[in-house]
Amino acid sequence: MNIYGVMAIYKFEMARTKRTLVQSIVAPVITTSLYFIVFGAAIGSRIDQVSGISYGAFIVPGLIMLNLLTHSISNASFGIYFPKFVGTVYEMLSAPVSTLEVVLGYVGAAASKAVILGVIILITANFFIDLKIAHPIMMMVFILLTAVSFSLFGFILGIWADNFEKLSVVPMLVVTPLVFLGGSFYSTDMLPQPWQTISHFNPVLYLVSGLRWSFYEISEVSVMLSLASILVFMFACLGVVYYLFKTGYKLRS
Amino acid sequence: MNSDEKPILRIKGLNKFYSGGFQALKDINLEIEKGEIVALLGPNGAGKTTLISVVCGIVNPSSGTVSVDGYDIIKDFRKTRSIIGLVPQELTTDSFETVFNTVGFSRGLFGKPPNDEHIEKVLRSLSLWNKKDDMIMTLSGGMKRRVLIAKALSHEPTVLFLDEPTAGVDVNLRKDMWEIVHELKAEGVTIILTTHYIEEAEEIADRIGVINNGEIILMEDKEKLMAKLGKKQLILDLCDRLSAVPESMADFELELSDNGLQLVYTFTTQRDRTGITALMDDLKLEGIVFRDLNTTQSSLEEIFVNLVEESS
Ligand SMILES: Nc1ncnc2c1ncn2[C@@H]1O[C@H](COP(=O)(O)OP(=O)(O)OP(=O)(O)O)[C@@H](O)[C@H]1O
Ligand SMILES: [Mg+2]
C-alpha cells in the first residue's frame, strides 16, 4: 500500500479547498441561513407543522442532504477531471499508486470536505432552530455513507466527462431535481397521487428519510431500507470505479 | 532480480495500436544497460512519446513485454514505476501550487516519505530554490520545465525519461540540463531522452537510437556510429594539375577529382593517427603544392536524415 501516495493526493485536494475557503465555507453558511430565513421563518411561519415538527426543523436533514450530495459530487468530479483537463494526470498514471489508492485519495478528500460541510450546516442551523438529534451515531453513519457514495459517483462522473458541460450537466439536471423532489423540503404524503408513488422511485427520498429519522424518528420508508439503498448505491459505484481503472477507461489509451 | 549485468530496461516484441487501429509501435525490441544515456531521435509522430509512455505506465501496450530492472511493468508496476522518473514533453503543471509543494507532492505520490533536504537539493541544482514559494503559474515556460524536471527527480529515480527536455529552452537551461544529465549519470542513473537536436544527442548520449514510423531503424553506440558513418575528408586544391596519384602514395588511397586539380583523402578521426602528417610529408617529397585545404565531415544530422529517408 502506497500510504504516502494516498496522503499526497488527499493533502493536495484538501489544499485546493483551503485556497477557496470563502467559497467552501462562507458560501454554504450564507445559503443555509437564507434557506432558514426564507423557508423556515417566512414561509415556515405559515406552514404549521410537518409530521409533528416545526417546518424549520423539518428541512434541516433535507438541507444537509442537498449540500452533501451536490458538494460530494462537484468536489470529487472536479478533483479528477481537472488533472485530465490540464494534462497533469500523466503523473498519477505513471506513479506507483493502485486504483484503490487513487480512489482513497480523491474520494477520501471529497467525502471529508462534504462531511465538514454537513457539520457546518448543522452548526448554522442551530442558530435558527432548536436542534434535537435523536440518534447522533446513526446521523453520522448516514452523513458519512452519503458523502462517500456520492464522492465515488462524482469521481466516476469526472472520469467520464470530457468537457466542462458534461461535468455540470449531471449535477444540474439530475441531482438537483432528485433532491428537490425527494422530500427534502416537504413530506411526500403532502403530494397528490400519482406523485406520491412516483416519489418512491426517487433514490434520494430514501437518503433524506433515513437522515430525518436519525434526527426526529420520523421517516417515510423504513430506516433499514434507507441504509440498504445507500449501501447498494455505494457498492455499485465501487464496482464501476474498479471497472474503469481495470480497463483504463478514458485515462489510459 | 537486481543484478548489474541485467539490462535495466528490456523491451520485447512491443506493439501499440491506438484505438482506431493506428499502429504507433511496431515490434520494438530494445535493451538498455544500467547507467547508459540513450538518445532517441526521430521525426514528429515517429512513436518516441508512445514508447516512453508505455514504459512509464501511461499508455497500455497492445502486445509484448517490458521489464525495468527485471520487473514486469504491469505485474510489478509498483516496483517499476517507483524507480522511474518522467519529464513529459508537454508543459503540464498545476497552477496554484507552490514550487516546493508540487515537488513534495510528486515525492509522496511515488511512495517516498517526505524529505525536505532532498527536495532542496533538487531545487538548488535546477536554480529553482529562490522560487520555491512562488506559485507555478507565475513562472516562465523555461522555469516550468525546470519544475517538471524537479518533480521527476523528487523520488530519486534510477531510470529517468526525458521527453524533449530542451524543447523551447534557452541556451543556459540547455547547458544546465546537460550538466544535470552528466551528474545523474555519475550517480548511476540510466537516462533515456528524446530530442530533435542532433547536437544534443552527440553531446550527451552513449547510444543513439533512431525511430521512424514506429520502428527502431537504428540503435548504435554513438562512437561507433560516428566512426562507421562519420567519415572525414581532407580536400586539397592543387596549384598544378596532376594526371595520376604518384605510386609512392598508393597507401593513402587518394582520389583525384576536379580534372586533377583536387586530391581527396578519406580518414576517420576515431583512430589515434589519421595519417595526415605522413600525407603532408609525402606530398612535400613528391613536390606537390596546394593552395588551399579543407575538411568535411558527415554529421549525425546527415546520417539521421539519410536513414529516415531510406526507411520511409
Ligand atoms: N492517444 C492517441 N490516440 C491515437 N493516436 C495517437 C495517440 N497518441 C499518439 N498517437 C499517434 O501515434 C503516433 C506517434 O505519436 P508520438 O507522440 O509517440 O510521436 P513522437 O515521436 O513523440 O512525435 P513528436 O516528435 O512530435 O513528439 C502519431 O502518429 C500520433 O498521431
Ligand atoms: Mg513526442
Quick check: is B127 in a domain?
Answer: yes
Identify all chain A residues contacting B88, using CB atoms and an 8 Å cutoff.
87, 90
Cα(A83)–Cα(A20) distance, integer angstroms: 18
Listing from the earlier edge strand, what are the strands of the sheet with B63-68? B23-32, B9-17, B63-68, B71-72
Same domain, B97 and B164: yes
Ligand 1 pocket member A253 (CB < 6 A):
yes
A98 Ramachandran zone, left/alpha/beta (phi>0; psi -120 to 50): beta
Quick check: is B37 in a domain?
Answer: yes
User: How many domains would you assign to chain B?
Assistant: 2
Same domain, B111 and B237: no
- Residue pair A103/A154 in contact (Cβ under 8 Å)? The answer is no
Quick check: is B33 in a domain?
Answer: yes
- For B221-241, how does the pLDDT look when each residue is reduced to its tens digit (9 = 90+)? 888 777 666 577 889 999 888
Ligand 1 pocket member B53 (CB < 6 A):
no
Q: What is the dihedral of CA A102, A103, A109, A115, to 10 degrees?
A: -170
Quick check: is B148 in a domain?
Answer: yes
Residue in A70, A81, A82, A3 with CA at minimum distance from that of residue A31: A70
- For B92-146, how does the pLDDT look when each residue is reduced to its tens digit (9 = 90+)? 888 889 999 999 999 999 999 999 999 999 999 888 999 999 999 999 888 898 9
**How many CB atoms are closer than 10 A to CB B39?**
25
Identify all chain B residues contacting A244, using CB atoms and an 8 Å cutoff.
none
Quick check: is B4 in a domain?
Answer: no
What sign does the dihedral B21-B22-B25-B27 (CA atoms) show?
A: positive
- Taking 70 as the threshold, does the pLDDT of residue B265 lie above it? yes
- Taking 80 as the threshold, does the pLDDT of residue B2 lie above it? no
- Taking 90 as the threshold, does the pLDDT of residue A180 lie above it? no
User: Residues in chain B whose beta carbon is closer than 8 A to a beta carbon of chain A?
Assistant: 18-19, 56-60, 77-79, 81-82, 84, 86, 88, 90, 92-97, 101, 104-114, 151
Last residue of a domain, one of B227, B252, B284: B227
- Taking 50 as the threshold, does the pLDDT of residue B1 lie above it? no
Q: What is the CATH number of the domain that holds B134?
A: 3.40.50.300
Q: Which of A80-94, A189-203, A206-220, B252-266 has the lowest mean pLDDT?
A: A189-203
Could you tell me how many helices (H) and strands (E) chain B has, helices first?
A: 10, 14
- Taking 60 as the threshold, does the pLDDT of residue B3 lie above it? no
Same domain, B125 and B254: no
Last residue of a domain, one of B227, B245, B261: B227
pLDDT, position B150: 94
B156-178 mean pLDDT: 86
Quick check: is B309 in a domain?
Answer: no
- For A24-63, how does the pLDDT look when each residue is reduced to its tens digit (9 = 90+)? 778 888 888 888 888 777 776 777 777 778 888 888 888 8
Last residue of a domain, one of B227, B248, B273: B227
Q: Which of B39-43, B255-259, B304-308 has the lowest mean pLDDT?
A: B304-308
C-alpha cell at A99: 486504483
Listing from the earlier edge strand, what are the strands of the sheet with B255-257? B255-257, B262-267, B232-238, B290-297
- Taking 60 as the threshold, does the pLDDT of residue B149 lie above it? yes
Residues in chain B, total: 312
Same domain, B159 and B70: yes
pLDDT, position B270: 63
- Taking 90 as the threshold, does the pLDDT of residue B249 lie above it? no
At residue B99, what is the residue type? Answer: V
Ligand 1 pocket member B88 (CB < 6 A):
no
Q: Which of A74-78, A123-127, A181-185, B58-62 has the lowest mean pLDDT?
A: A181-185
Contact state of B110 with A86 under an 8 Å Cβ cutoff: no
pLDDT band, residue B66 (cuts 50/70/90): very high
pLDDT, position B300: 65
- Residue pair B251/B269 in contact (Cβ under 8 Å)? The answer is no
Same domain, B80 and B93: yes
Cα(A148)–Cα(A107) distance, integer angstroms: 7
Cα(A135)–Cα(B237) distance, integer angstroms: 103
Residue in A228, A229, A216 with CA at minimum distance from that of residue A58: A216
- For A207-241, how does the pLDDT look when each residue is reduced to its tens digit (9 = 90+)? 888 999 998 888 888 888 888 988 999 999 999 98
Q: Determine the structural domain holding residue B203 and report its residue range.
A: 9-227
Same domain, B204 and B248: no
**ipTM over cut 0.95:** no
Same domain, B211 and B159: yes
What stretches of B154-302 adopt beta strand conformation (E)?
159-163, 190-194, 207-212, 215-221, 232-238, 255-257, 262-267, 290-297
Same domain, B132 and B197: yes
Identify all chain B residues contacting A7, using CB atoms and an 8 Å cutoff.
108
Quick check: is B29 in a domain?
Answer: yes
Same domain, B175 and B197: yes
B288-301 mean pLDDT: 80
Same domain, B223 and B239: no
Decide the pairing of beta strands B262-267 and B23-32: unpaired
pLDDT, position A169: 87
Residue in B8, B36, B30 with CA at minimum distance from that of residue B204: B36
Cα(B256)–Cα(A252) distance, integer angstroms: 60
Same domain, B27 and B163: yes
- Taking 70 as the threshold, does the pLDDT of residue A167 lie above it? yes
Q: What is the CATH number of the domain that holds B248?
A: 3.30.70
pLDDT, position A107: 94
Ligand 1 pocket member B24 (CB < 6 A):
yes
Same domain, B20 and B167: yes
Quick check: is B81 in a domain?
Answer: yes
Residue nearest to atom 3 of ligand 1 (CA): B18
Cα(B279)–Cα(A244) distance, integer angstroms: 71
- For A55-100, how does the pLDDT look when each residue is reduced to its tens digit (9 = 90+)? 888 888 888 998 899 889 989 999 999 998 988 999 999 999 988 8
B54-75 mean pLDDT: 93
